[in-house]
Structure 1
Amino acid sequence: MTGISSDDAALAARAAELTPSLVDRLVRLARIPSVAAPGFPAEPLLDAHRALVEELRAVGVGQIDQVLLDGMTAPTVVADVPGPPGAPTVLVYTHYDVVPAGDEGLWDTPPFEPVVSADRVVGRGVADSKGNIAAILGALQLVDGRPPVTLRIVLEGHEEFGSVYEEHPPAHPELYAADAIVIADVGNVRPGVPTLTIGLRGSVTMTVEARTLDTDKHSGQFGGAAPDARTALIRALASLHDARGDLAVAGLRREPWTGASYTDDEFRELAGVLPGVPLVGTGDLGSRIWSGAAVTVIAFDAPPASAPLNAVASSARAVLNLRVHPAQPAREAGEALAAHLRAQRPFGIDLDVTVGEAGDGFLAPTGGPAFRAAQTALRTAWDGAEVGTLALGGSIPIVMAFHEAQPGAEKLLFGATDGYANIHGPNERQLLDELTRTVVALAVFWRELAAGPTGPGTAGPGTTDPGTTDPGATDPGADR
């Protein structure tokens, strides 16, 4: 490695020596189809829980407890590793459940038979998020089970499908006291580019309905004068965007994004945009997918094209998903969208608009001691490369749960997954180099935080250090 000290180079060399054992652990975990979705068997989740406990004990973790709430099939693992007296506390979180394999015909190899090659492991869950579990285990190995901080490791088994666990931290904040909380459910913008995720968009679900007739009517007899509910609803939904694809809804926050991002070509490849099909919207890509709102029609009631009906529709309903700027209250954004739709009155028809579930996003302050320690750690692990900041267009509810429980703890999002890992898709993969470097990053982060201003005799859990605000995520313009 270049651009780092000889001691850190030696640390990296040792991490490289540990990589075969990390791969063995990852393969063992990835063979278990630990899907927590309704309708899937419980036993694989319980098998994964047992395997995790064994792996934690194998790297020297002695105190292992669990949280099992009504509605949870498998427990959340809560493991503690004491640090030196007065050392800061770090909570590290990720999850061991996975999404289903989907259409196995799209996989090059069986999804739950992980395949190891020279530079990667391919299989369901290897990146989201069992690779991050392997990295946590590897970092403990790297420090011989004696970290310079007090560690609380939280490994959830229900993250992917509406977990009730996220209710636990706000209800029991004392169990989650920490100086820093690391959410290891993310990774770099692209392989080899160290990245801290600092923003998550919020989310709102909304139902929009048009009702026009007492029942459906024959289109030949009544079409042309009888108001078709589907046409009215389509007209209202079309008002959400202008001709360029930008949102045309007042009150939704959007600002330019100045952190790390994808090129348009990279994004087209990642999104699978077909040749000749343009991207929608204007302005920088980051402001469209991270620091701005987006509306997607996620359901629409209509007969399928394979079974059309010659009828004027008496009612029509759509469900929308609104993604919200990380710093805008989700409920506020939802009401702005609802007000826009109610004002449309297509053909003079009133719409029934219902704002459903709303979850706030998250925008992390930057510049605090843990943030600086993480920057140093990622820079070290990636050979002195400059560390970028990133946001995610999706939400991670547990981040807000931890924030509600411990608002003074710095929240940091980094891990072994990268933007090309194809999580939730076929041929999901974990790069071995990203895995090994994440092991180094975690170990160096613990070291740097322990040596910094939150060490013995200074700030402890619950102490707020607002630091500074990353300009790429918070204040470059009033219309973000």
Structure 2
Amino acid sequence: MTSDTPRSEAVREAGLAAVPAAIADLGALVRIPSIAFPGFDRGEVERSAEAVKGLLDGLDLFDRVEIKTATVAETGEEGMPAVLASRAARNGRPTILLYAHHDVQPVGDEELWETPPFEPTVRDGRIYGRGAADDKAGIMAHVGALRAITEVLGSDFDLGVNIFFEGEEEAGSASFAQFLSDNADALRADVIVVADSGNWDATTPALTVSLRGNVRFTLDIETLDHASHSGMFGGAVPDAMLATVRLLNSLWDEEGAVAVAGLRHRDAETPAYTEETLRDEAGLPAEVSPIGRDSILSRIWNKPSITVTGIDAPSVRNASNTLSPKTTVVISSRIAPGQEAREAFEAIEAHLREHAPFGAKLTFRDVDFGDPFLVDTTGWAVAQARTALASGYGVDPVDIGVGGSIPFIADLVREFPAAQILVTGVEDPHARAHSPNESLHIDTFRNALVSEALLLESLDATVL
């Protein structure tokens, strides 16, 4: 860690002072159920975009602040509203693009929430609510950091700042690539900060340097033209559930590791991480064994995984003595850094077709791809980010991989190949993003906001 200058120390103090207002504004955002998935109210996403635009307008920093959409190339439909803002750099300073998203995951089973998901609730040093961590806290870390440097430097500083607060990240970023293309000039930057990841723990910051990719698809498994009586034909006729169970079981070996030829892994060192920590962070009971081989973090960061995330079949409530003709599953596979998502899907599809039992008919549809990402850690902006994180948290940052995916980063790399991309975040391992009782650790948020303010101050002093 390096000693702060008088200016950076003033920015630190301003960042700390900005936290209460940022938390209050975060609470207001959490109260908006901005779910961008089909079947939910688009008007709530639009209301969320308006609220975020209001926060940026209040900074009085930008040459323009707009709510914009783009067309989804595959369907021709209008994408969800994003908030775009920009101010030009001056006197040879760099431009930074700050990314976060204002849409959130559906709540799932509301009975599993201890408090209402869209009523932010503080307990035990955490703010509970859907989007409190993922990713409305990312928006407020950006806004709070900008408030801090404005408090110290005024609105007349030289750093260029562009904003892209997306409105459909959780729903797949369908219009993301087109939005980048449509608004490339307004978004172009030397440094991009994606505030949509996590930290090593609640007190130790992290830079995410690798992300697994993702392949997600729906699979129909059919064995019969129509349902038949299980007593009259069972034992001679394979039903779809039998074929589904046999087929899905082929995807993993006896240790639970992926058993699909053609899915690759990455050879890379990982930090020490114990099974006890895994159990604590993942909620894995003592009587249930972990799956896979090699170090735990290598399984999460550098190897593929396959998860069945949904299934349509006769429910327990509606069970009858019937041979089912068809079942449908949703499969999500995380892809190791270094392998293209389309190549991985081809391997999975070939495996499933080869292992389809009893001549079952397989239909693949609704296929989504997201490529993995590896950060070039040699850039000057990475060094400045590490310094800012160390100063903001009081602890040196850790370079981490993440088992989850941020597929749109591949679009950023393609559109802005010269930009240095920094993947940061406000989450800790207990944030439970996407799950019931999602929460934000307040101290982690405070340190993240201060760190970003220090990074902005550092970049404002950098001449390219």
Q: Choose the corresponding residue for 1:291, options 299, 302, 305.
A: 302
- Encode CA deviations 1:381-428: one digit per residue, 9 max, x unaligned: 111x22212233222233222222112211111122222122233333
Q: 1 CA distance for matches of 2:69 and 2:225? A: 49
Q: Choose the corresponding residue for 1:136, options 132, 139, 142.
A: 142
| Residue in 2 that maps onto 1:54 | 54
| Residue in 2 that maps onto 1:400 | 410
Could you tell me whether the CA contact under 8 Å between 1:140 and 1:146 is conserved in 2? no
Q: 2 CA distance for matches of 1:440 and 1:35? A: 29
Q: 1 CA distance for matches of 2:363 and 2:78? A: 33
| Residue in 2 that maps onto 1:32 | 32
- Structure 2 unaligned runs (5+)? 72-76
State whether structure 2 residue 167 is matched by structure 1 residue 157.
Answer: yes
State whether structure 2 residue 98 is matched by structure 1 residue 99.
Answer: no
State whether structure 2 residue 4 is matched by structure 1 residue 5.
Answer: yes
| Residue in 2 that maps onto 1:19 | 19
Could you tell me whether the CA contact under 8 Å between 1:201 and 1:392 is conserved in 2? yes
| Residue in 2 that maps onto 1:460 | none
Amino acid at match of 1:184: A
Moved more, 135-144 or 62-71: 62-71
Amino acid at match of 1:433: D
Q: 2 CA distance for matches of 1:67 and 1:332? A: 33
Amino acid at match of 1:371: V
State whether structure 2 residue 435 is matched by structure 1 residue 425.
Answer: yes
| Residue in 2 that maps onto 1:473 | none
Question: Once the 2 structures are TM-superposed, how far is the Cα of residue 380 of structure 1 from its aligned partner?
Answer: 1.5
| Residue in 2 that maps onto 1:200 | 211
Moved more, 41-50 or 363-372: 41-50
Q: 1 CA distance for matches of 2:139 and 2:272? A: 26
Could you tell me whether the CA contact under 8 Å between 1:260 and 1:389 is conserved in 2? no
Amino acid at match of 1:100: P
Q: 2 CA distance for matches of 1:443 and 1:213? A: 62
Q: 2 CA distance for matches of 1:448 and 1:343? A: 56
* Aligned residue runs from structure 1 range 168-317, under 5 A: 168-260=179-271, 263-317=274-328
Q: Choose the corresponding residue for 1:436, options 446, 451, 459.
A: 446
| Residue in 2 that maps onto 1:470 | none
Q: Secondary structure at the match of 1:87?
A: coil
Q: 1 CA distance for matches of 2:428 and 2:217? A: 31
Q: Secondary structure at the match of 1:134?
A: helix
Q: Secondary structure at the match of 1:443?
A: helix
State whether structure 2 residue 124 is matched by structure 1 residue 123.
Answer: no
| Residue in 2 that maps onto 1:414 | 424
Amino acid at match of 2:162: R
Structure 1 pair 324–413 and aligned structure 2 pair: CA distance change class (3 A): same
Moved more, 401-410 or 253-262: 253-262
- Structure 1 unaligned runs (5+)? 457-480
Q: Secondary structure at the match of 2:261?
A: coil
Q: 2 CA distance for matches of 1:364 and 1:375? A: 14
Amino acid at match of 2:440: Q
Structure 1 pair 248–159 and aligned structure 2 pair: CA distance change class (3 A): closer
Moved more, 142-151 or 333-342: 142-151
- Encode CA deviations 1:252-273: one digit per residue, 9 max, x unaligned: 1113553457532333233332
Q: 1 CA distance for matches of 2:222 and 2:43? A: 46
| Residue in 2 that maps onto 1:65 | 66
- Superposition RMSD in Å: 2.8
Amino acid at match of 2:445: L
Could you tell me whether the CA contact under 8 Å between 1:72 and 1:158 is conserved in 2? no
Question: Once the 2 structures are TM-superposed, how far is the Cα of residue 188 of structure 1 from its aligned partner?
Answer: 1.0
Structure 1 pair 294–18 and aligned structure 2 pair: CA distance change class (3 A): same
Q: 1 CA distance for matches of 2:42 and 2:327? A: 38
- Encode CA deviations 1:3-26: one digit per residue, 9 max, x unaligned: 743645554333222222222222
Q: Secondary structure at the match of 2:355?
A: coil
State whether structure 2 residue 85 is matched by structure 1 residue 86.
Answer: no
Question: Once the 2 structures are TM-superposed, how far is the Cα of residue 87 of structure 1 from its aligned partner?
Answer: 0.9
Amino acid at match of 1:151: V
Structure 1 pair 84–188 and aligned structure 2 pair: CA distance change class (3 A): same
Could you tell me whether the CA contact under 8 Å between 2:196 and 2:423 is conserved in 1? yes
Q: Secondary structure at the match of 1:320?
A: strand
Could you tell me whether the CA contact under 8 Å between 1:256 and 1:286 is conserved in 2? no
Question: Once the 2 structures are TM-superposed, how far is the Cα of residue 151 of structure 1 from its aligned partner?
Answer: 0.6
Structure 1 pair 378–302 and aligned structure 2 pair: CA distance change class (3 A): same
| Residue in 2 that maps onto 1:377 | 388
Structure 1 pair 393–226 and aligned structure 2 pair: CA distance change class (3 A): same
State whether structure 2 residue 363 is matched by structure 1 residue 357.
Answer: no
Could you tell me whether the CA contact under 8 Å between 1:93 and 1:182 is conserved in 2? yes
Could you tell me whether the CA contact under 8 Å between 2:221 and 2:362 is conserved in 1? yes
Q: 2 CA distance for matches of 1:77 and 1:284? A: 41
Moved more, 115-124 or 416-425: 115-124
Q: Secondary structure at the match of 1:184?
A: strand
Could you tell me whether the CA contact under 8 Å between 1:26 and 1:131 is conserved in 2? yes
Moved more, 416-425 or 329-338: 416-425
* Aligned residue runs from structure 1 range 454-469, under 5 A: 455-456=463-464
- Encode CA deviations 1:31-50: one digit per residue, 9 max, x unaligned: 33333333433444333333
Structure 1 pair 315–187 and aligned structure 2 pair: CA distance change class (3 A): closer
Could you tell me whether the CA contact under 8 Å between 1:173 and 1:405 is conserved in 2? yes
Q: Secondary structure at the match of 1:397?
A: coil
Structure 1 pair 295–147 and aligned structure 2 pair: CA distance change class (3 A): farther
Q: 1 CA distance for matches of 2:172 and 2:102? A: 14
Question: Once the 2 structures are TM-superposed, how far is the Cα of residue 340 of structure 1 from its aligned partner?
Answer: 2.0
Q: Choose the corresponding residue for 1:112, options 105, 118, 138.
A: 118
Q: 2 CA distance for matches of 1:48 and 1:301? A: 32
Q: Which runs of 4+ in 1 moved over 6 A?
A: none
Amino acid at match of 1:56: L
| Residue in 1 that maps onto 2:74 | none
Structure 1 pair 404–261 and aligned structure 2 pair: CA distance change class (3 A): farther
